Amino acid sequence: MTSRGISRSTLLALWGVFLALPVAATMLYSVATVWRGRALPDGFTVHWWVQTLSEPRVVAALLRSTWLATLTVLIVAAVVLPALYWGYIRNPRIRTTMQVCALLPFALPFVVLAYGIKRLAGATEVTQPWEASPLLVVLGHVALAFPFFLWPVDGAMAAAGVRNLSEAAETSGASPLSTLFRVVIPNIRTGILTGAILTFATSFGEYSIARVITGSSFETLPVWQVAALQDNRGNPNGVAVMAMFTFVLMFVVSVLIARTGRGEPVRLLPGINTTQKR
């Protein structure tokens, strides 16, 4: 039994090392002075962090990604919440339709989705001016990230018994809108928070939509990262700084979700968890 226990921990530890090594390497590169031909860097410095985070192009990309992700979260919340709420209290078929729609982004790889939206916008005279605009990028992010908001919120609404809540509120004379804001939303705060964080993270790290739709005129952080990685005369340490920055951000996001969602699987896939809830 003990030998089985040992081989189990060895296997898991090996995997842990494989998962940790790239993060460690990125961290070392982001603080290394000179690192040539030796196992470890010659010295350490915070110079790259200061330099990269004060470079105007990087700061602009970072800000762009941040507002893009924030806007995506807000729009997703604004279109999903009323629809889902109505699906619970009036028309159950809305909820079924939404569940089916939430599978669509998984049948369309993101690069395909991006190209489809771009072609669609270019197809008519009216929408043509927006064919390569940031507006279309926002729309694309909304279309691909909404399932990550829908699933936790749907779970929270089911758990909170939204139907009973709103019936009680309506009997006391509240309008549907004030019921949604005063009764329902406060009861599903955890689900909304989890969904918002997931949507933000998905949108923040998304590369293909911005790249395909705008070329490189709307440079989000991932677009900058790929361009800087492929640039031979670029600064590898600065690239490592921004990768490390993203890792830390994703780590914080995951910790936040684990704390709000009580350790449930976070990256929900169209799978076991969602089907069981029905």
Residues in 42-101 that interact with another protein by CB under 8 A: 75, 78-80, 82-83, 85-87, 90-91, 93-94, 97-98, 100-101
Q: Which is nearer to another protein, 110 or 218 (CB)?
A: 110
Minimal distance in Å, beta carbon 129 to another protein?
Answer: 18
Which window, 17-25, 42-50, 125-133, 184-192, contacts another protein (CB under 8 A)? 17-25
Q: Which of residues 217-246 bind another protein (CB under 8 A)?
A: 221-222, 225-226, 229-230, 236, 239-240, 242-243, 246
Size of the residue set binding another protein (CB under 8 A): 96
Minimal distance in Å, beta carbon 103 to another protein?
Answer: 6
Which window, 64-72, 139-147, 154-162, 186-194, contacts another protein (CB under 8 A)? 139-147
Of 6, 46, 50, 103, the one binding another protein (CB under 8 A) is: 103
Q: Which is nearer to another protein, 67 or 106 (CB)?
A: 106
Of 57, 106, 127, 181, the one binding another protein (CB under 8 A) is: 106
Q: Which is nearer to another protein, 156 or 198 (CB)?
A: 198
Number of neighbouring beta carbons within 10 Å of residue 80 = 22
Of 55, 60, 66, 116, the one binding another protein (CB under 8 A) is: 116
Of 1, 3, 19, 126, the one binding another protein (CB under 8 A) is: 19
Q: Does 158 sit near another protein (CB under 8 A)?
A: no
Q: Which is nearer to another protein, 173 or 263 (CB)?
A: 263
Of 58, 62, 132, 143, the one binding another protein (CB under 8 A) is: 143
Q: Does 2 sit near another protein (CB under 8 A)?
A: no
Minimal distance in Å, beta carbon 67 to another protein?
Answer: 19
DSSP track, the chain: -HHHHHHHHHHHHHHHHHHHHHHHHHHHHHHBS--SSSSS-S-B-SHHHHHHHT-HHHHHHHHHHHHHHHHHHHHHHHHHHHHHHHHHHT-HHHHHHHHHHTTHHHHS-HHHHHHHHHHHHHHSTTTGGGTTSHHHHHHHHHHHHHHHHHHHHHHHHHHHTHHHHHHHHHHTT--HHHHIIIIIHHHTHHHHHHHHHHHHHHHHH--HHHHHHHTTSS--HHHHHHHHHH-TTS-HHHHHHHHHHHHHHHHHHHHHHHHHHTT--SS--SSHHHHHH-
Residue 237 · residue 51 · CB < 8 Å: no
Q: Does 191 sit near another protein (CB under 8 A)?
A: no
Cβ contacts of residue 74 below 8 Å, gap of 6+? none
Minimal distance in Å, beta carbon 240 to another protein?
Answer: 6
Q: Does 181 sit near another protein (CB under 8 A)?
A: no
